[in-house]
């Protein structure tokens, strides 16, 4: 069957994906090519107001909790914990404004206080005080917590919620950097966590790059549903009850729309026991290693945006190093208006923040701290390390094994590192969905999923084909869903055949690389014709 010609067809014909605007984080339904200028301006103004609300909330909660105004602005560890508090309080205030019981969220989290842990110390703020901070921030940002009609142009909730979730995501990614997702989170009871091993569903170590978000809590997954890994969304589709399954069915269908028979796969797998679908899932996951893709967004620590915004607001004297930061400087409302989480605006903010120092708690040295921050912002723990070496000023990037136990006890060890973020030299928009007809990764835990969307050549080793052939043979046992599994197996065989015939190398990427030198926040940097070459090494490798 491996030599039989298999036509690789597209996914369901009724899947229509809207083009997404790169203008705003929360504007995924707006088509940038057709939206009226007045609508764009309105949304940009709303973005500025929402980001001001978040920045002001961060500053007020930090001051209230740590009793400090300007100190610790650079501490990323503290900022990530404050983002979690803002996420909680925003949910409470939004629910209260929409008529729900104001104690609903509080009962759900079983909290009367929030905690910030830093340098071995614990600081507290009551929920009521945190609510007051956010209410004051909303007033200063000229937004209001009230019930809005769904079509009300002043309704700022969805835009704010998207931004808050992205800032919260930085801490979640740092948490994921600690260890590979062997187990998937289900629920937490007090200090105890319930989870299940993903190997029950036929997923092994080399599939971990498809399981982003597997350790998120239910609320965190809900907030970042579009950005979890394809296998994460599929497992949630399978295991969810009827009430909550629809959301994950839609997410899984969207991220795997290019997979043949995706509707049939989702239909036959829902509610199934692991042993019934494990071979199907393993084969599907193998295919996604070759021709899959994920939506990627930048998850900044909140203090980076706050500090860059204050550069202009406070009219601080900033020495612009033309070699390190050869681009026009903007801050204040202009920075907020141009900020986004997938392209020019995000990379502009990042390189702007390279001008100043930040602090990360833990036993990291400065180079390790640079890498931890970069991975947590851009999600490049699943990206090829050689791509990062070619696009940044850092020549060597560490694997998980090289980090050792540095992630343990980050907030309690009493150590911290001050560092400048590693500078980006060339960049592209972040990858969104499949990047080629054969978007491939590599072998075992040296597999990589493109996070950067720039052009590249991808190389496959003989070990990749040997390992995949071995895994496919070992899964050939009696199938519960034989027709679909057999078809997927044939597709997988044809994919590996095509890759071998191509010498184990393909050309992929959907956009050109750009230089940060000379970039501005709106138009970006000048395009270059570079095609980067990948290796077979990623951060989550154990080698």
Cβ atoms of 429 and 22 closer than 8 Å: yes
Q: Kindly report the CA angle at 109 between 107 and 111, in degrees rounded to 5?
A: 80
Task: Please provide the DSSP assignment of 318-370 as one string.
Answer: ----TTT--S----HHHHHHH--SSSHHHHHHHHHHTTS-EEEESS--HHHHH
* Max mean pLDDT range (195-204, 291-300, 467-476): 195-204
Q: Which two tokens stand for residue 230?
A: 């394809």
Look at residue 289 in the predicted model and tell me its pLDDT: 86
Cβ atoms of 196 and 278 closer than 8 Å: no
Cβ atoms within 10 Å, residue 539 = 25
With 0.85 as the threshold, say if the pTM is over it: no
Alpha helices in 362-481 (DSSP H): 366-378, 385-391, 400-403, 462-474
Q: Which residues pair with 321 in a beta bridge?
A: none
Per-residue pLDDT at 72 exceeds 70: no
Alpha-carbon distance of 422 to 514, in angstroms, equals 17
| Helices vs strands, H then E, count in the chain | 18, 12
Q: Kindly report the CA angle at 248 between 245 and 254, in degrees rounded to 5?
A: 140
Which percentage of the chain shows pLDDT scores above 70?
A: 75
* Max mean pLDDT range (90-104, 136-150, 432-446, 463-477): 136-150
Which percentage of the chain shows pLDDT scores above 90?
A: 48
What are the CB-based long-range contacts (under 8 Å, 24+) for 261-264?
261/484, 261/487, 261/488, 262/11, 262/12, 263/11, 263/12, 264/484
Alpha-carbon distance of 347 to 382, in angstroms, equals 19
Look at residue 133 in the predicted model and tell me its pLDDT: 98
Per-residue pLDDT at 48 exceeds 80: yes
* CB hemisphere CA count around 322 (13 angstroms): 0
Name the pLDDT band for 256 (thresholds 50, 70, 90).
Answer: very high
Supply the DSSP symbol for 527: E
Name the pLDDT band for 503 (thresholds 50, 70, 90).
Answer: confident
Cβ atoms within 10 Å, residue 379 = 23
Q: Which two tokens stand for residue 55?
A: 């920045």
Query: Considering only CA atoms, which of 155, 176, 264 is closest in space to residue 228?
Result: 176
Look at residue 159 in the predicted model and tell me its pLDDT: 96
Q: Which has more confidence, 350 or 443? A: 350
Q: Which two tokens stand for residue 133?
A: 């901070």
Judged by DSSP in three states, 524 sits in strand
CA-based torsion, 227, 230, 232, 234: positive or negative: positive
| Mean confidence (pLDDT) of the chain | 81
Look at residue 393 in the predicted model and tell me its pLDDT: 95
Q: Kindly report the CA angle at 72 between 69 and 75, in degrees rounded to 5?
A: 145
Look at residue 477 in the predicted model and tell me its pLDDT: 34
Q: Which two tokens stand for residue 114?
A: 């929030």
Per-residue pLDDT at 23 exceeds 50: no
């Amino acid at each position: 069957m491996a030599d039989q010609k298999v036509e690789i067809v597209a996914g369901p014909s009724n899947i229509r994906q809207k083009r997404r605007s790169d203008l705003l984080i929360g504007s995924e339904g707006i088509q940038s090519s057709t939206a009226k200028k007045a609508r764009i301006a309105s949304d940009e103004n709303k973005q500025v107001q929402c980001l001001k609300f978040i920045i002001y909330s961060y500053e007020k909660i930090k001051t209230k909790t740590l009793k400090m105004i300007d100190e610790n602005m650079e501490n990323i560890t503290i900022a990530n914990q404050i983002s979690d508090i803002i996420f909680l309080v925003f949910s409470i205030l939004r629910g209260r404004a929409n008529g729900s019981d104001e104690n609903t969220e509080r009962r759900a989290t079983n909290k009367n206080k929030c905690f910030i842990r830093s340098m071995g110390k614990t600081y507290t703020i009551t929920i009521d005080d945190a609510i007051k901070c956010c209410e004051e921030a909303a007033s200063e940002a000229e937004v209001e917590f009230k019930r809005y009609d769904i079509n009300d142009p002043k309704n700022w909730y969805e835009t704010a919620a998207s931004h808050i979730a992205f800032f919260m995501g930085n801490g979640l990614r740092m948490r994921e950097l600690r260890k590979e997702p062997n187990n998937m989170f289900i629920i937490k009871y007090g200090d105890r966590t319930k989870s299940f091993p993903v190997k029950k569903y036929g997923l092994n170590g080399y599939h971990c790059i498809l399981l982003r978000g597997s350790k998120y809590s239910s609320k965190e997954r809900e907030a970042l549903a579009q950005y979890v890994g394809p296998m994460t969304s599929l497992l949630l589709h399978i295991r969810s009850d009827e009430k909550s399954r629809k959301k994950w069915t839609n997410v899984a269908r969207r991220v795997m729309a290019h997979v043949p028979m995706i509707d049939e796969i989702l239909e036959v797998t829902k509610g199934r026991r692991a042993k019934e679908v494990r071979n199907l899932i393993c084969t599907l996951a193998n295919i996604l290693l070759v021709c899959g893709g994920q939506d990627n967004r930048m998850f900044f620590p909140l203090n980076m945006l706050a500090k860059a915004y204050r550069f202009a607001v406070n009219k601080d004297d900033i020495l612009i190093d033309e070699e390190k930061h050869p681009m026009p400087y903007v801050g204040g409302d202009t920075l907020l208006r141009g900020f986004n989480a997938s392209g020019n605006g995000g990379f502009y903010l990042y390189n702007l923040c390279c001008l100043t120092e930040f602090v990360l708690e833990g036993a990291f040295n400065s180079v390790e701290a640079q890498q931890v921050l970069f991975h947590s912002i851009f999600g490049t723990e699943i990206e090829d390390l050689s791509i990062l070496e070619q696009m940044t000023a850092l020549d060597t990037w560490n694997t998980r094994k090289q980090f050792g136990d540095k992630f343990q006890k980050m907030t309690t060890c009493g150590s911290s590192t001050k560092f400048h973020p590693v500078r980006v030299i060339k960049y592209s928009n972040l990858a969104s969905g499949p990047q080629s007809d054969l978007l491939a990764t590599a072998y075992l835990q040296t597999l990589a999923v493109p996070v950067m969307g720039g052009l590249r050549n991808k190389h496959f080793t003989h070990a990749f084909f040997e390992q995949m052939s071995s895994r496919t043979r070992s899964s050939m046992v009696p199938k519960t869903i034989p027709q679909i599994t057999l078809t997927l197996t044939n597709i997988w065989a044809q994919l590996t055949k095509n890759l071998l015939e191509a010498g184990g190398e393909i050309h992929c990427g959907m956009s050109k690389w750009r230089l940060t030198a000379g970039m501005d926040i709106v138009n970006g940097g000048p395009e270059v014709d570079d095609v980067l070459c990948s290796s077979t090494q990623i951060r989550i490798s154990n080698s």
